[in-house]
Structure 1
C-alpha cells in the first residue's frame, strides 16, 4: 500500500514538474520586440527582380507591426473539396477577410501529362488555373508562399519500401534522375514566370523548396542522402531556376521540421548567400508538447535569424481538425504572441475529415475569431 502511494506521489510530482517546465517557457509578461533586421546587400538570386526586393522590405515593415497570419490554399479548397463546383472558401466565410499569407504547392504540376487533348495542352490548362488562383490571392492583398512536394522520380509510394534511398544523389549532376529533375524545374519555371498581376508586374513569391529536410518522410530527408548532397540540391535549384530559366521573383526560405538544437537546425543549411529567410514547421500532434516545442523552436530560430540579420517565420503549423475548441487562444497565440516571427501559416482545409481552419458552424469558430482579433495578428486588410 505504501509503495502504491509512493508511486502515485512520484507520478503526480512528475506531472506537475512537466507542467511547470512548460509554464516556465511561457512568460505572460513577455513583450514582442522584433529586432531591427535590415535589407541584405545580396539575395540568393543575384538578379532578383524589384518586386521581390520590395516584398522583402514590406516584410521588414510588417514584422515590426505584427504577425501576418496565413493558410495553405484557402481559395477554392474548402471543406467540400474535392467535389467539383462545390468548394467553400472557409477562411473568408468565417472571418470576412483573406489571409495575409496564402500558401500553394507545386506537387501536382509534376503529375500533369504533356499531351494535348485534343488541341489543348493539359499541362498548360493546369498552369493557367494555378496562375489564376495565385493572381486572385495576390489581388486580394495576400502575400504568396509556395512549397514544393516534388513527386518521387523513383516511385509514387510514400516511402518505407526503399524508394527514397539515394534519390537526391541520382538527381545531381551525372545521376540517372538528372533529366527528370531538370524537367521538373522547367515545369516549375513555366508556372513561376507565368505569375503576373493585372498591371503586368511579376508577382513575388516566398519559395520554400525541400522543406522539413531533417525529417524522414520525404526522399530529400535525413537518412536518404548526405548533407552535402542536400546542400548541392538546394544550390542547383537556385542556380538552374535563375540562370537557365530566368526565374527572378523568388525569395528562398529554408525551413526544417521542429528541431532540438541550433546545430540540428543548421545541419543542412546551404549558407547565408543561398537563403533569404528562415522558417520552421511545428504542428500540434496532441501529445501535450505543442506549446513547449513551439516556444523552444521559435527561440532557436529567432537567435539564429537575429545573428544572421534575417527574417524568420513559423512556416507551417496547425492542429488537424481543430479538436480543441480554444486551441487558437490557449495554444497557438500563447506560442507566438511574443515571438518576432514575420508570419505563421496553418495548413489547408480539404474536407470535413481533414481541415486546419474552422468552417461555418465549427465549435472553434468563435475562438478563432477571438485569436484573430488580437492586434498583433494581421490579415489581408491589415497589411494593405
Structure 2
C-alpha cells in the first residue's frame, strides 16, 4: 500500500490524498460500526427480559471471547496493589506494571453497600469504585461484581454463619429490611453510568460458593430450597421492582466435592445467565490439577447443555510460590477449556496476593503467559466486537 502511494504521488495533487484518506477513515469507521451492530443484533436470552442493549452486547461478547481463548481477570486490579492504593491520583495495576497491559476482567466487591457505608469491606471507597468501573468499561474491560453481604440478623460479617435466610425471603420477619438492602444495591448498580449516560453492564454473582459452609447463605446455614428462593426473589426485586437492567446474573459454586453439588442450589435457567466455579489451589499442584480436570469438564458440560457462557469466577494460588505456575500449571489445564475468563483474587498484603507484581518470583513466567495467543488481556478483548 505505501509503495503504491509513493509511485502515484507526482501525478495527483495533495487534496486527492486528503480526500482519499478521509474516505478510508470513513470506510473503516463504517466497518467498525457494522461489526458492533452485528454483535448488538445477535439474540441474547437473558434473565432480565428488559436488559439494556449494552447488557445484551456484553453477553454476546462474553460468548465470543471463549471462541478466541480466555480473558485474564484480577480482583480490585486498579483499586490497590502491593505497596500502593489508588486515591484518585493515579491509575495503575500490578498486572500492567509487570506485563504492560491491564486485565480484561475487573473484579470488584460491593459488600457493605447494603449498610450504607462509604467504602466496601476491603476499604475501597464506593465513589472511587464507580470511577474505576467507568474507566475500565470505557477502555473495553468487563466488570464482575461479587457481594460479601453482612449478616443481617447478628450484625456480624459475611462469614458469620448465624442462619437467617428463611427470615429474609418473603413472609420472613426480616424481609422488609432485606428489601432495604436490595434498594441500596440497586442504587449502586443503577448509578454505574458511562460517559454517554448509559448504564454500564456488569456480571453480578451474588451468594457465591453456596456449596461451602463459610458464608451465611452457604451449605448447612440454609436449605437448598431456601437458597433458591433467596436467589429468585433477589433477581425479581432488583430487575422488576427496582429497575436494574444492566446485570448478567452468574451462578458460581465453589470447587466441587461431588458432581451433584453444582446444581444442588441452582435456582433455574430462568434466573441464571452465566455459570462459574471458584477454584483455588490450597494444596499441592497435583491436587489442584486433579480438581481442574474433574470440575471444569463438568462445568463445560452443564453450560453447553444450557447454552450459557462459563468462567473460572475466582481462582488463584496465594503468593504464587511456583515460578512457572502460569504457563506450566494453570494454562496447561485451561488452554482449551472453553472458559470465558479466569478471575484471580486480589493483591492485598505481602502474604496475600494472587497476581504478580514487579520483582515477584513468577513475574517472568507471567510475561510468557501474557504472550500466549489464547490468553487475552485488555487490548485483545477490546478488539472483540
TM-score for the superposition, normalised by structure 2: 0.82
Cα shift readout 1:275-334 (whole Å, capped 9, x = no counterpart): 101100110113341111012111010011111111111111000111211111122112
TM-score for the superposition, normalised by structure 1: 0.82
C-alpha distance in 2, partners of 1:156/1:299? Answer: 39
Classify 1:293/1:178 alpha carbon distance in 2 versus 1 (closer, same or farther; 3 Å): same
C-alpha deviation, 1:159, in angstroms:
8.0
C-alpha distance in 2, partners of 1:166/1:128? Answer: 32
- Which of the numbers 239, 244, 249 marks the counterpart of 1:247? 244
Structure 1 unaligned regions, length at least 5: 1-38, 115-124
Aligned to 1:43: 46
- Which of the numbers 70, 74, 87 marks the counterpart of 2:77? 74
C-alpha deviation, 1:44, in angstroms:
0.9
Aligned to 2:291: 293
SS in 1 for 2:365: helix
Classify 1:86/1:129 alpha carbon distance in 2 versus 1 (closer, same or farther; 3 Å): closer
Give the number of aligned pairs: 335
C-alpha distance in 2, partners of 1:226/1:99? Answer: 37
The answer to whether residue 205 in structure 2 is matched with residue 208 in structure 1 is yes
C-alpha distance in 1, partners of 2:48/2:86? Answer: 39
Aligned to 1:89: 93
SS in 2 for 1:107: coil
C-alpha deviation, 1:61, in angstroms:
1.6
C-alpha deviation, 1:252, in angstroms:
0.5
C-alpha deviation, 1:228, in angstroms:
0.7
Aligned to 2:172: 175
Mapped contact 2:309–2:340 kept (Cα < 8 A): yes
C-alpha distance in 1, partners of 2:57/2:164? Answer: 36
Quote the RMSD (CA, aligned, Å): 2.2
Mapped contact 1:314–1:341 kept (Cα < 8 A): yes
C-alpha distance in 2, partners of 1:86/1:291? Answer: 41
- Which of the numbers 329, 350, 356 marks the counterpart of 1:352? 350
C-alpha deviation, 1:59, in angstroms:
1.4
C-alpha distance in 2, partners of 1:216/1:270? Answer: 18
Mapped contact 2:88–2:128 kept (Cα < 8 A): no
C-alpha distance in 2, partners of 1:200/1:152? Answer: 34
- Which of the numbers 55, 60, 64 marks the counterpart of 2:58? 55
Mapped contact 2:224–2:265 kept (Cα < 8 A): yes
Moved more, 286-295 or 208-217: 286-295
C-alpha distance in 2, partners of 1:218/1:259? Answer: 16
Cα shift readout 1:120-178 (whole Å, capped 9, x = no counterpart): xxxxx954322111101112221111011111112354588xx5243111111122322
- Which of the numbers 323, 330, 349 marks the counterpart of 1:332? 330
SS in 2 for 1:322: coil
C-alpha distance in 2, partners of 1:82/1:153? Answer: 30
Aligned to 1:276: 273
Structure 2 unaligned regions, length at least 5: 1-41, 119-123
Cα shift readout 1:81-134 (whole Å, capped 9, x = no counterpart): 5696898621111121111111111103234449xxxxxxxxxx9543221111
Cα shift readout 1:324-371 (whole Å, capped 9, x = no counterpart): 111111221122112011111100111222111111011110011111
Mapped contact 1:112–1:126 kept (Cα < 8 A): no
Aligned to 1:151: 150
C-alpha distance in 2, partners of 1:206/1:256? Answer: 15
C-alpha distance in 2, partners of 1:73/1:362? Answer: 18
C-alpha distance in 2, partners of 1:310/1:304? Answer: 9
Mapped contact 1:326–1:364 kept (Cα < 8 A): yes
Classify 1:199/1:159 alpha carbon distance in 2 versus 1 (closer, same or farther; 3 Å): closer
C-alpha distance in 2, partners of 1:50/1:198? Answer: 16
C-alpha distance in 2, partners of 1:73/1:213? Answer: 22
Structure possessing the higher relative contact order (Cα contacts under 8 Å, 6 or more residues apart): 1
C-alpha distance in 2, partners of 1:272/1:244? Answer: 20
Matches within 5 A, 1:198-237: 198-237=195-234
